[in-house]
Structure 1
């Protein structure tokens, strides 16, 4: 993490992935899952769905929707979250390209 002095205060510049900055395992996956859930939450709000209606539409149980809304992503894979988004009317595009570094990374881009 880069450090900068601004007005005499040491400031740490984030990498753009808070999970990596916190040195959490699977930081890229956590960032992807969180990004997908943010999009799901936006869609549910825009569609004005109850948790029960959202569960039916996404093909998961209402308790899993509740977990998702509370930020518990442990029982939902990236693949399942993508499936939820497609069931809510979103297209998902996966792009693969050579990495600029020795080891590549995962990222989520929303429009």
Structure 2
């Protein structure tokens, strides 16, 4: 049996480098949004209303259900949280 090693978990889980990059970006956004929402100290219902989403949708976000969120949806939620972010472009290793 051949042992494979990866630079990060996303490379191990993804089918290709593009999918790994997408998963990494979504995870970073989801983590930042989750931390911001927790800082608010609001009920899930109030936090969901503040973000313009349903409480079950917020619950999915807080539980880290990455597969339920597109990069586009997370960008919109980050903006609704009052977060800004930058995209860095670099040569692939």
Same fold flag (TM > 0.5): yes
User: Which has the larger share of helix?
Assistant: 2
| Unpaired stretches in structure 2, ≥5 consecutive residues | none
Structure 1 unaligned regions, length at least 5: 1-11, 105-111
How far apart, CA to CA, are the structure 1 residues paired with 2:29 and 2:13?
A: 21
Name the SS of the counterpart of 2:67 in structure 1.
coil
Q: For CA contacts below 8 A with separation 6 or more, give which structure has more relative contact order.
A: 2
Query: Where does residue 100 of structure 1 map in the other structure?
Result: 91
Q: What is the match of residue 35 of structure 2? A: 42
**Residues 23 and 84 of structure 1: is their aligned pair in 2 closer, same or farther, counting only changes over 3 Å?**
closer
Which structure: larger Rg? 1
> What count of residue pairs does the alignment treat as equivalent?
88
Residue from 25, 31, 35 that aligns with 2:24: 31
* 1:1-42 superposed Cα distances (whole Å, 9 cap, x missing partner): xxxxxxxxxxx8752x3110x242311111111111110111
Kindly report the root-mean-square deviation, in angstroms, between the aligned alpha carbons of the 2 structures.
2.4
When you count strand as a share of all residues, which structure comes out higher? 1
Q: Do 1:58 and 1:83's aligned partners in 2 also have CA atoms closer than 8 Å?
A: no
> CA shift at 1:82, angstroms?
1.3
